[in-house]
Structure 1
Amino acid sequence: MKLATYKDGSRDGQLVVVSRDLGLAHYATGIASRLQQALDDWNFIAPQLQDLYETLNHGKARHAFPFDPAQCMAPLPRAYQWADGSAYLNHVELVRAARNSEVPKTFYEDPLMYQGGSDDFIGPCEPARFLSEDWGIDFEAEVAVVTGDVPMGTSPEQALDSIRLLMLANDWSLRNLIPAELAKGFGFFQSKPATAFSPVAVTPDELGDAWQGGRVHLTLQSTWNGRKVGLCEAGPEMTFHFGQLIAHICKTRNVRAGSIVGSGTVSNKGVMDASSRTEWPKGYSCIAEKRAIETIQDGQPQTAFMKFGDTIRIEMKGKDGQSVFGAIEQSVAGPGR
C-alpha cells in the first residue's frame, strides 16, 4: 500500500492512503490519524489501511479525492530517529580519491552512518531554505526505509523483516561546512540540515520483484534545473543492504518503530571508453560526486554547487514506467519563514 501525510496546520499532519497510480487519496482518520500511530500498532492497523487501499484502487472509496503532492508533508513529518548510512562505497571511493585519500578496509566490512536531525523534515514540494549560498548547497538522492521495533542484537536477515515502508530522500548537505566539522572528530551537525522525503511511502510488496535482498532494484532519477543528471541504479552496487544498515544501528541499542534509515547517496561505477578515459553514463546523485570526478580527471572541480532559485527533482519509476513514490520537487531558497 501507499501512504502519505497531508498538511492540516499541525506538526504531524493527517494520514492518507494513496492509490497505486498516485491519482487518488483518502483520509485514514477512522483507522489512524497519523503515520506514527500506525507504526506503533502496525499488526493491528496495517490490515485496516490495506483494506482501504484496495477499496481505493478499485474505485469504491466514497470519499476519495485527487491526490496532490503539494499538500504533502514528509510521510513522517518528524521521527524518533533519522540514521543515514553510506551504503554505496563507490561514492566514498570517488570522494576520497579526489583528495588523494585511501578508503580504509574497515569501510567495506562495517557501514558508515551518522545520526541526523529528525525533528523537522521538509515536505517533498517545499523549498529548502539556507542562510547562505557560500555554504556549498548540495542535494543527495537516496532511498530510505521506515522500521518497526527492532530488538538490540538483531541479525541483518532478521532486520529485513522490520522494514515497514520505503521512500525517497533528499539528504541536503552543506559541503563547505563539512571539512571544519569533521576536523573536530565528532561528525556532521551543522553541515547536515533538514532532510526532505518523497510524497509517498510504500510497503515493500508494492515494489514486486524490484525489492530483492534488502535492495531496491530500480533507477533513481535526479533532475537539476530541468536537466537530468542522474539515472543511477539503486540495487546492484549497494554494498550494504538495508538489513545490514538496521543491524548496525541495533548492535548496541533497541531501534523503535518510526526510525528512518537512509541508504546514502546512490552511486554507480564508471566505465572505461576507447580512449582509456572513465565515463559515468549513469550520472550522479549529488554534486560532490560530480566535482570529485572532475578533480580526478582534470585536477580541479568545475561544477558549482547550487544557488538560490535552483531546482531539484528526485523520482523513481517502476518497471511499468509509473512513479512509485511520487517526486521530490524542491527549489533552493534564501531565509524565510
Structure 2
Amino acid sequence: MKLASIFNETRDGQLVVVNKAVTKAVAVPEIAATMQAAIDNWKETAPKLKNVYDSLNANSSDSAVFDISSKVVMAPIPRAYHWADGSAYVTHVELVRKARNAALPETFWTDPLMYMGASDAFIGPNDDIEVENEAWGIDFESEVAVITDDVPAGTDAKSALDHIKLITILNDVTLRNLIPDELAKQFGFYQSKPWTSFAPVVVTPDELEGVWSDGKLHLPLRSTLNGKLIGSPDAGVDMVFDFGQLIAHAAKTRSLIAGTIIGSGTVANQGSPTGSSCLAEVRCLEIIKDGKATTPFMSFGDRIEIEMNDKEGHSIFGKIDQVVKAYQKK
C-alpha cells in the first residue's frame, strides 16, 4: 500500500492512504491521525490501512476521496524521532576520495559509514530548498530510505529486514563547501546538512514485488537538474551494505524506536556508467578526467527533480520537485 502525510495546520500533518497511481487519496483519522501513530501500532493499523488501500484502488471507498495533487504533501513523518543516513554505495565514497588523492580505508568495505541527521528539518517533495548563500556549495543527494518499527538493540542484519515497514526516496541536501571545516573538527556533519526532503508517498515492501529483495531496491533512481538528466543509477547495484546491515549497524548498541528513518546514502554505480546522484560526484569525475571541476553546484532558481519509476514506467513514490531559493537572515 501507499501512504502520505498532508498538511492540516499541525506540525505532524494528517495521514492519508494513496492509490497505486499516486493520484487519489483518502484520510483515515479513525485508524491513525498521523504516520507516526500508524507505525507506533503497526500490527493493528496495517491491516486496516490495507483494506482502505484496496477499496481506493477498486474505486469502492466509502470515504471522501480527493485528488492528492490538490493537497500540500509533507514529509511522511515531518518530525521523526530518529534519522540516520548511511553510505552504502562505497564506490561513491571511493570516487570522492580519489578526486582529492586520499586513500580509502579497507574498513569502509566492511563497516558502514553512518551519521545521525536533523530529523526536525524534514520538508515535503515540493517545498523550496532555502539556503542563505550560494557560495556554500548547494548540492542534492538522491537516496533510498526505509522506515522501521521498533528494533531491539543487537538485532542482526537478517532479522532487521523484518522491521522495515515503509520504503521511499529522498533528497539529502548538502552544503559541500561547509563540509571540510566541519569534518576538520572531527565531530561530524551539522551545518552542512540543512534539509532532507522526501517523495510524496511511502510504500510497503509488498508493493515492490519483484524489485525489492535482499534489503535492496532494484530500480534506477533518476535525478534531473534544470531539465537535464544527471543520472539514473540502479539502486540495487553496487550497494555494499543492504538495509538490513544498515539497520543492524544503527541498532548495535541501542534500540531504534518505531518511525526511525534510515537512508542509503547517495546512490552510485561503479564507474558511474549511468550517471550520478549528486553534483559532487559529477565534479569528482571531471577532476579525475580533466584535472578540474567545471560543473557548478546549484544556484538560486535551479530546479531538482528526483523520481523512481517501475518497470512499466509508472512513478512509484511520486516526484520530488524542488527549487533552490535564498532565505533572508532574521
1:169 paired with 2:161, answer: no
Runs of 4+ in structure 1 over 4 Å off: none
CA distance in 2, matches of 1:226, 1:126: 18
Supply the AA of the counterpart residue of 1:238. M
1:297 paired with 2:289, answer: yes
1:181 corresponding residue in structure 2:
182
1:327 corresponding residue in structure 2:
319
CA distance in 2, matches of 1:27, 1:230: 35
Please tell me whether the aligned partners of residues 169 and 195 of structure 1 are also in contact (alpha carbons under 8 angstroms): yes
2:43 corresponding residue in structure 1:
43
The one-character-per-residue Cα deviations of 1:39-97 (angstroms, maximum 9, x if unpaired) are 11000011100000000000011311112176100011110011000000110010000
Aligned-residue CA RMSD in angstroms? 1.0
CA distance in 2, matches of 1:176, 1:204: 37
TM-score computed with the length of structure 1 as normaliser: 0.96
Matches within 5 A, 1:83-232: 83-232=84-233
1:318 paired with 2:300, answer: no
1:274 corresponding residue in structure 2:
none
Please tell me whether the aligned partners of residues 69 and 125 of structure 1 are also in contact (alpha carbons under 8 angstroms): no
TM-score computed with the length of structure 2 as normaliser: 0.98
Name the SS of the counterpart of 2:155 in structure 1: coil
Supply the AA of the counterpart residue of 1:163. I
1:16 paired with 2:20, answer: no
The one-character-per-residue Cα deviations of 1:126-179 (angstroms, maximum 9, x if unpaired) are 101001001000000000000000000000000000001001110000000000
Please tell me whether the aligned partners of residues 69 and 199 of structure 1 are also in contact (alpha carbons under 8 angstroms): no
1:277 corresponding residue in structure 2:
none
Per the TM alignment, residue 197 of structure 1 is displaced from its structure 2 partner at its CA by: 0.5
Name the SS of the counterpart of 2:232 in structure 1: strand
Per the TM alignment, residue 258 of structure 1 is displaced from its structure 2 partner at its CA by: 0.4
CA distance in 2, matches of 1:162, 1:197: 20
1:27 corresponding residue in structure 2:
27
The one-character-per-residue Cα deviations of 1:189-230 (angstroms, maximum 9, x if unpaired) are 100112001100000111111001000000100000011111
Identity fraction in percent: 54
Gaps of 5+ in 2: none
Supply the AA of the counterpart residue of 2:4. A
2:61 corresponding residue in structure 1:
61
CA distance in 2, matches of 1:28, 1:125: 23
Name the SS of the counterpart of 1:233 in structure 2: coil
Please tell me whether the aligned partners of residues 70 and 125 of structure 1 are also in contact (alpha carbons under 8 angstroms): no
Supply the AA of the counterpart residue of 1:299. G
CA distance in 2, matches of 1:302, 1:101: 21
Supply the AA of the counterpart residue of 1:109. T
Name the SS of the counterpart of 2:122 in structure 1: coil
1:284 corresponding residue in structure 2:
276
CA distance in 2, matches of 1:25, 1:137: 34
- Number of equivalent positions: 328
CA distance in 2, matches of 1:309, 1:70: 23
2:253 corresponding residue in structure 1:
252
1:309 corresponding residue in structure 2:
301
Supply the AA of the counterpart residue of 2:113. L
Gaps of 5+ in 1: 271-279
Please tell me whether the aligned partners of residues 211 and 217 of structure 1 are also in contact (alpha carbons under 8 angstroms): yes
Per the TM alignment, residue 281 of structure 1 is displaced from its structure 2 partner at its CA by: 3.4
* 1:306–1:70 distance in 2 versus 1, CA, 3 Å: farther
The one-character-per-residue Cα deviations of 1:240-292 (angstroms, maximum 9, x if unpaired) are 0000000001100001100000000000122xxxxxxxxx4311100000011
Supply the AA of the counterpart residue of 1:326. G
